[in-house]
Amino acid sequence: MDFAIDERTRERLADAREWGRAAMRPAGLEADRLSAPLPIDHPYFAKFIERGGGRTRWTGPPGANRPEREPTSVVQTLLLLEELAYWDRGVTVADPGPGLPETNVLAMGTEEQKQRFLGPFLELDRPRWACFAMTEPGAGSDAAAITTSARKDGDSWILTGAKCFIGGASRADWILVQAVVGGEKGRGAQRAFFVEQGTPGLGGFKIEKKMGLKAYESTSFTLSDCRVPATNLLGGEERYASSAGFKTAMRTFNAGRPIIAANAVGMGRAALDEAIAFAREHDLVARERVRDRLEAMARKLRMARLVCLRAGWLADRARPNIVEASMAKALAAGVGQEATALGMELLGATGARGDHLIEKLYRDVKAMDIVEGTGQVQRVIIARELVGLPR
C-alpha cells in the first residue's frame, strides 16, 4: 500500500499550479464578473495553445512516426484535474482541444475518422474545440432515454432532435452527437455521429445563462433534418452489430465520474484555503467554532480525494470501478458543496456581498452534483450493485 505521489507527477502538478495561478484563476474571475463565456479570441486561449495545450492524444496515421505524448494514468489525471479545478474549473472546460469525445474516437473511430476529426488537432493553427452531445431537454442522467433520431437515407444519415447543456457546442469544429436509429429508443439503438459546424440543419445555438462556471459556454442546439455522410457514423456500420453504441456513451460517463469528483475536491480545497486565509486575516482561528468548521472541510476533502483516487487506481488496473466511481462522484460533490457552504458561513455577511471567491465557488461547485449523473443517480447505480436494486 502506498499513498505517495511520484516525482514526475509532482513536477506536472507544480506546472499546473503555476499555470492555474497565473492564467486560469484570472480568466475564470473575469468570465464570472462579465457573466459570459471567455470569447474565442480571448488571449487566454492563445496562451494555452502556446504552452502546448489543446492537442490530440492521437499520434497520427500509421507510419507517421510522431512522438507519443507522455502517458497519463487515471490517477495522475485526477490529481492534475483536481489541481486545475482548484484554480478554475470552468476554465478547464473552456480549454480548447478535442475534449470529451476524443477518447471515444480513439477507441472506436476508423483511421479515416481519426485523420479527419483528430488530424486538425495535431498541429494547431488556432484554438479548436470539439464536443460531445448526449444530454437532451428530456434526457439527462438517463442516457438511454434520448430521442434525437438518425435515419439512413442513401449514403447519408439524417439527424433530427434537440440537445442541451452541451459544453462549447457553438465553437466546436465538430460535435459527436448521440442519436437513436430505426425509430427505436433504448441502448441498442444508439449511435454516435460526427456533425461538423456549418452542416445545414445544425443550428438554433443558444448559450445558456448559468449560476456559475461561466467561463465556458453551455449550449443548446437543434438538428433539423441535418444530413451527414454515412462515413460520419463513429466506427462505421460494422461496429454497431450489438449495443456498442450506448456502451460508447456509458464509457465516457464512467471515465468522467471520478474526474468530476476530483474537480469538486479541487474547488472545495480552494474554498478551504480562502476560508483559512480569511480566518487568519480576521483573527478568527482562535475561535473553536471557526477552527472546527475548517477542520471538517479539510477532513472531508482529504477523504473525498482518496475515494476519487481509489476509483482511478482501479481504472488504471482495468478493474471494475462502477461502485467506486459513483461513490467518488456522490461523495466528493457533496463534500465540495459542504466545504463551500461552510466557507460562506465562515465569511459571514462578507459571503453575501457577491464579490468573494468562496461565493463563486459555492455557485460553481453545485454543478458537480449534477453533471455526469446527479448524486441521486449515482446512488441508484451504487445500490444496483450493492443490493441489486431493480432497474
Partner 1 sequence: MFDLDPGDELALLAETARKLAAEELRPRLREAEAARAVADPVRTAYAEVGLAGLELPAAHDGAGLGALARVIVNEELAAADAGAALALDPYGPALYGLLEIGDSAMLADFLGGLTASGARAVWLDGPEVRLAADGAGVEADVAWLPTSRADAVLALVGDELLLVREEIHVRELPGAGLRAAGACALRLESASIAARMSSRMGALRARARARLYAASLLLGVLRDACDFSRGYAMERRAFGRPIAHHQALAFLITDMQMALDGARLLVHEAAWRVDAGLPCAGAAAAAFAQCIEASRLIGPAGVQILGGHGFMADYPMEKAMRESRALGLWLGGFDAAIEDAGHELCDTPGLALELA
| Active-site annotation, residues | 372
Q: Provide φ and ψ at 213, rounded to 5°.
A: 50, 50
CB of 361 to partner 1, least distance (A): 14
Q: Are 333 and 375 in contact (CB under 8 A)?
A: yes
Closer to partner 1 at the Cβ: 188 or 375? 375
How would you label 274-299 residue by residue, b for 16+ Cβ within 10 Å and e otherwise?
bbbebbeeeebeeeeebeebbeebbe
- Does residue 15 belong to the site contacting partner 1 (CB under 8 A)? no
Nearest distance in Å: CB 222, partner 1: 35
In this structure, the chain runs to a length of 391
The DSSP H or E segment spanning 130 is: strand 129-133
Q: Which is nearer to partner 1, 198 or 390 (CB)?
A: 390
DSSP state for residue 333 in the 8-state scheme: H
CB nearer partner 1, residue 162 or residue 383: 383
- Shortest spacing between CB 220 and partner 1, in angstroms: 31
Burial class (CB in 10 A: 0-12, 13-18, 19+), 241: exposed
Partnered with residue 243 across adjacent β-strands are none
Q: Which of 29, 306, 322, 370 binds partner 1 (CB under 8 A)?
A: 306
CA dist 44 and 224 (Å) reads 34
CA 221 to chain CA mean position, Å? 19
Contact by Cβ (8 Å): 131, 98? no
Contact at 8 Å (CB) between 66 and 24?
A: no
Nearer to partner 1, 85 or 176 (CB): 85
Decide if residue 51 touches partner 1 (CB under 8 A): no
Smallest gap from residue 24 Cβ to partner 1 (A): 15
CB of 284 to partner 1, least distance (A): 9
**Which of 124, 294 has the CB closer to partner 1?**
294
Q: What residues between 323 and 352 interact with partner 1 by CB under 8 A? A: 327, 330-331
Quote the radius of gyration of the chain (alpha carbons, Å): 21
| Subset of 56-75 contacting partner 1 (CB under 8 A) | 75
Task: Return the residue of 14, 64, 211, 352 that touches partner 1, per CB under 8 A.
Answer: 14
Query: Is 211 near partner 1 (CB under 8 A)?
Result: no
Torsion over CA: 319, 325, 331, 333 (sign): positive
C-beta of 33 vs 282, nearer to partner 1: 282
Instruction: Give the nearer residue to partner 1 in terms of CB position, either 66 or 317.
Output: 317
- Please report, as residue ranges, which positions from 76 to 115 form the binding site for partner 1 (by CB under 8 A): 79, 82-83
Q: What angle do CA 22, 24, 30 make, to 5 degrees?
A: 105
Taking the complex as a whole, how short is the minimal distance between the CB of residue 240 and partner 1, in angstroms? 34
Q: Report the residue from 5, 122, 230, 341 that binds partner 1 according to the rule CB under 8 A.
A: 5
CA–CA separation, 288 and 291 (whole Å): 5
> Using CB under 8 A, which residues numbered 265 to 304 contact partner 1?
269, 272-273, 276, 279-280, 285, 288, 291-292, 294-296, 298-304
182-209 burial string, b = 16+ CB within 10 Å, else e?
A: eeeeebbbbbbbbbeeebebbeeeebee
Count residues contacting partner 1 (CB under 8 A)?
Answer: 53
Hey, what's the cell of 324? Answer: 467506486
Q: Considering the complex, what minimum distance in angstroms separates the CB of residue 168 from partner 1?
A: 27
377 binds partner 1 (CB under 8 A): no
Backbone angles phi, psi at 196, to 5 degrees: -80, 150
Chain residues that interact with partner 1, rule: CB under 8 A: 1-6, 9-10, 13-14, 75, 79, 82-83, 269, 272-273, 276, 279-280, 285, 288, 291-292, 294-296, 298-307, 309-310, 313, 327, 330-331, 376, 379-380, 382-383, 386-390
